[in-house]
Chain A
Amino acid sequence: MIGQLSKDERQLALVILLVLATLGLLLAAVGRDDPLGVHGGLIMLVAIGGLFFTISGYYAPEPTRDSLAFYYDDPSKIGIIAAMAWAVFGLLIGDWVAWLLVNPDLTFDAPWSSFGRIRPVHTTAVIFGFGGNALIATSLYVMQRTSRARLPDRLSPWFVVFGYNLFCLLAVTGYMMGTTQSKEYAEPEWYADIWLVVVWIVYFILYLRTLARRTEPHIYVANWYYLAFILVVAVLHIVNNIAVPVSFGHAKSYSIFSGVQDAMTQWWYGHNAVAFFLTSGFLGMMYYYLPKRAGRPIFSYRMSIISFWGITFFYMWAGSHHLHYTALPQWVQTLGMTFSVVLLVPSWASAGNALLTLNGAWDRVRDDATLRFMMVAAVFYGLSTFEGSFMAIRPVNSLSHYTDWTVGHVHAGALGWVAMITFGAIYASVPWLWKREAMYSARLVEAHFWLALAGTVIYVFAMWNSGIIQGLMWRAYSESGTLAYSFVDSLVAMRPYYIARAVGGLLFLTGAVIGCYNIWMTIRAAPQSADERLTSQSDTMVGTTPAMQPGE
């Protein structure tokens, strides 16, 4: 790894790690009576580990000029391994949390293991750990291919990958120590937030620098989505996290927003984290891997333009549908509902574009579980965007809000769309990245596919049932005009569905573990010979055909 860096880059790496170690030491000193001190120590340890690693390879020979003829993919490899590791960890915690609602005493009478602290560990590990690493890894891969340009340097991609994982590590360890802002999906405290901004700026600059080097005149659709993901997530993250720390020695901070303005800002962030993290980014993934794997051009270029700008514009209005019937002024609720319904048009344009691309390749969908992962992802994308628009309608929301229906909806999107497209993209890119002919076992990919699909369906059906029953019980009246059920009555009715949900989650987790084994065995297998490599995949920039063919 260090051997691939030039001398200048090695020196810069040492400087960055030294600065980081010093900052860690500073935080550890000023925050010694606070969880902040633990995090300072953690940052310092990570930086010192990095220093030792860099020094150990410091005198390795510099990379030859020949290596510049190839795309630089090693950061993508590490990103994919990290994504799978976070997936297993996050799904495991998720399933534990699910069982806690069946048996609340499955805990260690310790603060760190209680539901309220490990639930954000689950959400952060799967959204930011798994999803984020997969997005970074695939975006670097896709950007180089579709631009036919190499990454501009070899240090900044490593800074992005490792820096981002340090952020995820600070986040999940923080929750277990009770460090949280309580803003859903934006829980990490001020110092972790600032660190993420630094990493994100480097990521954005890396993206622009690679685009500036492109030899393709057009920027491919996938890159529009990845760009929107990087840019808008930065805006959302910065605005929603503006806060005043108690002191530089405290992890705790107070948001500058309060009450109704805070609620609106938070759900403007929360809903668009779904839009630009979990939708835009993964649509970027889909627009490269699905046509590539199917061997078909994207069905319609114009549809992708309409859906891209539709999603970028309409989503930003939709956040207030999380606040129907609350103290938020009604005009904002109505705007949120209206735009949520309109949002169905670009969403279905994307899903339709993906599925129509498969016309002429449906035999491959039947035979190839990797492509089937992507196809099912597009179907779930269509389903959950329809469900989302439907649930944003005020009267529907009066039933669904605060219930498990929302949880089911989120998981239809997260398991069915985000995770499925990611697994498809990972199974496609692992053999390409490690220069193997194919995955170690196609049958294990097949097994993973069916476990993931079964797990998702069980989960979502369980939550639809429990959510709708909950909503109906809460609003049921007896003949004498009083509420028919106490809250506890509705809780008791949930139990069978909570068990079913936890079983569904277990199936999904099992699939991911099988996936890890399969990827590990693929990496361990003997690589293709150099001759095969040159003829097989597009890992050199030599050649005249663009990576993607126009569809129209």
Chain B
Amino acid sequence: MFGFHYKLERKAIGLVLAIIGVASIGGMVEIAPLFTIHQTVEEAPDMRVYTPLELAGRNIYIREGCYACHSQMIRTLRDDVERYGHYSLAVESKYDHPMLWGSKRTGPDLARVGEKYSDEWHVAHLNNPRDVVPESVMPAYAWLSRTDLPAADLSSQLKAMRAVGVPYTDEMIANAPADAYGQAAPDTPLAEGVTRRYGQATTVRTFDGSPGRLTEMDALVAYLQILGRLTSAGQLSLAATKD
């Protein structure tokens, strides 16, 4: 064995090929089957895609690095489940390009934070977290309410998402900017299009409390309120275990 190595280490190309060969095995065995074994991701027929406003909110979540302190992955541990809700299923992040499971909980897990708090709470909390949680060490995101959401490029955002495999329809892509406005403007003709395209259960509200103006705060709150609610698969299997 060492004699063989004695020869190998005299050949640069041999060494290069050996390194690539030896290093590729692990990844091929662990990653490739995740795309082919069907049980890896559960079936959830009611799973819906993010609305344009929620996707814009998700992009703000990514931009601000929220994932550095908040996980979106409830583990199959008793205390995790009792604190945050049913453990996360693979299907729930099926449309997450990339996933935001996170690796650190400086703040609590957010996988099922949707509709746990009111919109007003989220707006106050994001403006200055210490107004509602005095001990919090989260940064204040006061500028979100001051910044208009650029909605014009949402069609191309949805198109790129479709290119990586998310089933957005042509209609959804064409109406993306209008739907972003509509989701934050209830009782307008625009709002009706959102529920028609994304389902009756879609949350249509004036998220930041000021209708008429679409801000980054609207988008981020809309995203936080949908977390854990894209499919009822999680809730259903929890009910099943309780029986």
Q: Is B142 an interface residue, CB under 8 A from the partner?
A: yes
Q: B130: which A residues are within 8 A, CB to CB? A: 104
A219 touches B30 (CB 8 A): no
Q: A119: which B residues are within 8 A, CB to CB? A: 65, 68
- Mask of B203-223 contacts with A, CB within 8 angstroms, 1/0: 000000000000000000000
Q: A398: which B residues are within 8 A, CB to CB? A: 75, 77
Q: A403: which B residues are within 8 A, CB to CB? A: 104-105
B34 touches A217 (CB 8 A): no
B135 touches A488 (CB 8 A): yes
Check A116/B66 contact, CB under 8 A, given A325-B75, A326-B75.
yes
A402 touches B29 (CB 8 A): no
A114 touches B64 (CB 8 A): yes
Which A residue's beta carbon lies closest to that of B5?
Answer: A305
Which B residue's beta carbon lies closest to that of A103?
Answer: B137
B30 touches A258 (CB 8 A): no
Q: B97: which A residues are within 8 A, CB to CB? A: 254-258, 262
Q: B89: which A residues are within 8 A, CB to CB? A: 327
B52 vs chain A, min Cβ distance (A): 13
Give the distance in Å from the alpha carbon of A100 to the alpha carbon of B89 in the complex.
33
The B132-147 residues at the A interface (CB cut-off 8 A) are 133, 135-143
B50 vs chain A, min Cβ distance (A): 12
Give the distance in Å from the alpha carbon of A313 to the alpha carbon of B163 in the complex.
34
Check A258/B153 contact, CB under 8 A, given A101-B106, A180-B62, A253-B160.
no
B153 vs chain A, min Cβ distance (A): 7
A256 touches B164 (CB 8 A): yes
- Mask of A91-124 contacts with B, CB within 8 angstroms, 1/0: 0000000001110110101110011110110000
Which A residue's beta carbon lies closest to that of B158?
Answer: A246
B164 touches which of A217, A244, A320 (Cβ 8 Å): A244
Which B residue's beta carbon lies closest to that of A476?
Answer: B79
- Mask of B87-110 contacts with A, CB within 8 angstroms, 1/0: 111111111111111111111110
A260 touches which of B34, B63, B80 (Cβ 8 Å): B34
Q: Is A181 an interface residue, CB under 8 A from the partner?
A: yes
- Mask of B101-130 contacts with A, CB within 8 angstroms, 1/0: 111111111000000000000000000011
User: Which of A130-138, A226-234, A370-378, A379-387 participates in binding chain B?
Assistant: A226-234
Q: Is B16 an interface residue, CB under 8 A from the partner?
A: yes
Give the distance in Å from the alpha carbon of A260 to the alpha carbon of B73 in the complex.
11
B98 touches which of A179, A181, A488 (Cβ 8 Å): A181
Give the distance in Å from the alpha carbon of A300 to the alpha carbon of B90 in the complex.
47
Give the distance in Å from the alpha carbon of A263 to the alpha carbon of B59 in the complex.
18
A219 touches which of B10, B91, B166 (Cβ 8 Å): B10
A259 touches which of B12, B63, B90, B139 (Cβ 8 Å): B90
A491 touches B137 (CB 8 A): yes
- Mask of A211-238 contacts with B, CB within 8 angstroms, 1/0: 1100001110000100110011001000
A263 touches B30 (CB 8 A): no
Q: B19: which A residues are within 8 A, CB to CB? A: 224, 227-228, 231-232, 312
Q: B181: which A residues are within 8 A, CB to CB? A: none
Q: A179: which B residues are within 8 A, CB to CB? A: 63
Check A101/B12 contact, CB under 8 A, given A116-B64, A117-B64.
no
Q: A243: which B residues are within 8 A, CB to CB? A: 164
A372 vs chain B, min Cβ distance (A): 31
Check A316/B93 contact, CB under 8 A, given A231-B19, A250-B153.
no
| Residue among B26, B29, B71 with the highest chain A CB neighbour number at 10 A | B26
Check A254/B23 contact, CB under 8 A, given A104-B136, A180-B63, A407-B104.
no
Give the distance in Å from the alpha carbon of A179 to the alpha carbon of B65 in the complex.
10
A487 touches B98 (CB 8 A): no
Give the distance in Å from the alpha carbon of A115 to the alpha carbon of B13 in the complex.
45
A245 vs chain B, min Cβ distance (A): 7
B16 touches A227 (CB 8 A): yes
A448 vs chain B, min Cβ distance (A): 30
A258 touches B64 (CB 8 A): no
B93 touches A327 (CB 8 A): yes
Check A313/B98 contact, CB under 8 A, given A109-B142, A224-B9.
no
B160 touches A254 (CB 8 A): yes
Q: Is A443 an interface residue, CB under 8 A from the partner?
A: no
Q: A465: which B residues are within 8 A, CB to CB? A: none
Give the distance in Å from the alpha carbon of A235 to the alpha carbon of B93 in the complex.
26
Give the distance in Å from the alpha carbon of A402 to the alpha carbon of B59 in the complex.
23
Q: Is A492 an interface residue, CB under 8 A from the partner?
A: yes
Q: Is A261 an interface residue, CB under 8 A from the partner?
A: yes
Q: B109: which A residues are within 8 A, CB to CB? A: 402
B105 vs chain A, min Cβ distance (A): 4
Q: What are 9 A-B pairs with beta-carbon distances under 8 A?
A: A104-B137, A107-B140, A117-B65, A254-B98, A258-B94, A317-B29, A324-B75, A327-B89, A402-B102
Residues of B at under 8 Å CB distance from A? 2, 5, 9-10, 12-13, 15-16, 19-20, 22-27, 29-31, 34-35, 37, 39-41, 59, 62-69, 71, 73, 75-80, 82-83, 87-109, 129-130, 133, 135-143, 153, 156-157, 159-161, 163-166
- Extra 9 A-B pairs, beta carbons < 8 Å, given A232-B19, A259-B94: A109-B143, A254-B97, A254-B161, A256-B164, A256-B165, A257-B99, A402-B109, A474-B79, A491-B107
Residues of A at under 8 Å CB distance from B? 100-102, 104-105, 107, 109-111, 114-117, 119-120, 175, 178-184, 208, 211-212, 217-219, 224, 227-228, 231-232, 235, 239, 243-247, 250, 252-266, 268, 302, 305, 309, 312-320, 322-329, 332, 335-336, 339, 398, 401-403, 406-407, 474-475, 477, 482-483, 487-488, 491-492
